[in-house]
């Protein structure tokens, strides 16, 4: 029996400019089987870009989020359908890393 969990834009920490979070681009924009740690998308806040990765394997289904669109932390952007034993319980479903900053 397949299970699923929703992928949400993570919380990036305190900022006075939450309204400037932009969905920059999809890395994987179609329904596809993926492994844990697969790069899914890039979001940007001000001068910093964040690469979003999934924490568990399964069938990735992107949701209706468009490149260049403003997004909010905790906003859903996709879903992983997988076996219940493969859900990454007790840890974030989405991880991120800084990939670019013009203020370094």
CATH number of the domain within which 47 lies: 2.40.50.100
pLDDT, one tens digit per residue, over 47-93 is 889 999 999 999 999 999 999 999 999 999 999 999 988 989 999 99
Whole-structure pTM value: 0.89
Three-state DSSP at 19 gives helix
How far apart CA 4 and CA 34 sit, in angstroms, is 14
Q: How many domains does the chain have?
A: 1
Chain centroid, CA 60 distance in Å? 11
Residue 93: domain span = 2-101
Give the burial class of 70: count Cβ atoms within 10 A of its Cβ; 0-12 exposed, 13-18 middle, 19 or more buried: exposed
Cα–Cα nearest to 10, from 34, 40, 47, 33: 40
């Amino acid at each position: 029996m397949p299970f699923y969990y929703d992928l949400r834009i993570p919380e990036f920490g305190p900022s006075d400019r939450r309204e400037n979070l932009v969905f920059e681009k999809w890395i994987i924009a179609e329904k596809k089987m993926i492994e844990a740690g697969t790069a899914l998308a890039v979001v940007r806040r001000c001068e910093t870009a964040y690469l979003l990765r999934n924490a568990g394997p399964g069938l990735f289904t992107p949701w209706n989020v468009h490149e260049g669109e403003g997004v909010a932390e905790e906003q859903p952007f996709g879903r992983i359908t997988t076996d219940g034993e493969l859900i990454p319980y007790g840890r974030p479903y989405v991880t991120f890393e800084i990939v670019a900053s013009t203020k370094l």
